Amino acid sequence: MYSFFQAAHEELKAGRRVFACFVAANRKGSPGTPAARMLIFESGKQIGTIGGGIMEKSIVDQAIERLSESVPMPPCLDDLVHRKTEGASASGLICGGAQSNVSFILEPDMATCALLELITAACDVEGYLEVTAHGLLYSELNLDCANRLDTSDGGWIYQLNLVNQRRIAIFGGGHCGCALAEQMSRLGYAVTIIEPRNDVVTLEDLPGEVLLIHADYSEAVEGLKWSDRTHAVVMTHSMQTDVDALNAALGQPFASIGVMGSSPKIARIRTSLLDLSWSDLQISRVRAPIGLSFDSDTPEEIAVSIAAQILLER
């Protein structure tokens, strides 16, 4: 989310207009989902997607044309149907379902630049962006859902939560932890790696969006924001550090907790957690081993197996 708005902000600061489009709502079958968003620059560069295909190509072409003009484009809401039909609601796709897109052009003026500066500072902290036909407004309040589109009063209001609702905390910054961090970052998750060691070479090539915390596991989880929306995955460099990480994770309201490992290792981890006074019921929160079972061996394959399980359950 941060890099998306930061890219728009950089263009505005350079004096160039930016077209933005968000999928505000959808019905089953639609390729565009409420997490989808897209930017189009005056150069024609595109960041993100709102569903692809002939629908997206048409919107991109219209955006480039509008950007070349000096006419302002206030926010608009377009309801598109993905089936053979006529009229303005036809998206050109025939996959079924429908989606509602909110789009507008950001002008490189002082007020809009100031708004984008507020938004980039608030991303993954708290607050939301409210869009109506009259313009854009930033609120510091915490939105209690991912996004919201309200059309109940004849008009429309779209609220975009600036806190990413897709989150994962990875305990361990070795090969497997970094492979999972890269995979989940590509999937749009807010990724945190917790690694007490300071000399781990695998951490050098992490994606820029990944938050790295160098601290003991118990200290790190205490300061972790939005833990109730976060999946915790333990994949440290030893059995003892796995136990330490799980001991810290079990004391937090994580959305889920999982640990990587073989059956003998997991049995020993369970015994160690019992020795630390965790009950059978509390230990049952831990998915062990985490990941879909398809004989994954390499760090990249393990990352795919864990990511696939998280996506499947979502």
pLDDT digits (tens, 9 = 90+) for 222-279: 989 899 999 999 999 999 999 999 999 999 999 999 999 999 999 999 999 999 999 9
Strands 190-194 and 18-27: unpaired
Looking at the fold, whether 141 and 241 belong to one and the same domain comes out as no
Cα separation, 152 vs 142, whole angstroms: 22
Is the CB of residue 253 less than 8 Å from the CB of residue 285?
no
Looking at the fold, whether 109 and 175 belong to one and the same domain comes out as no
Looking at the fold, whether 192 and 126 belong to one and the same domain comes out as no
Confidence of residue 175 (pLDDT cuts 50, 70, 90): very high
Distances, alpha carbon 102 to alpha carbons 5, 25, 254, in Å: 16, 9, 33
Residue whose C-alpha is closest to residue 51's, from 21, 17, 87, 12: 21
Looking at the fold, whether 147 and 203 belong to one and the same domain comes out as no
Residue whose C-alpha is closest to residue 30's, from 88, 81, 90: 81
- Cα-only R_g, the chain: 22
Looking at the fold, whether 156 and 193 belong to one and the same domain comes out as no
Confidence of residue 145 (pLDDT cuts 50, 70, 90): confident
Range of the domain at 250: 167-313
Number of folded domains in the chain? Answer: 2
Per-residue model confidence (pLDDT) at position 91: 80
- Provide the token pair at 304: 């795919």
pLDDT single digits (tens) 48-75: 999 989 999 999 999 999 999 989 999 9
Q: Is the pLDDT of residue 86 over 70?
A: no
Q: Report CA torsion sign: 75, 77, 82, 84.
A: negative
Q: Where does a domain end: 161, 177, 208?
A: 161
pTM for the full predicted model: 0.84
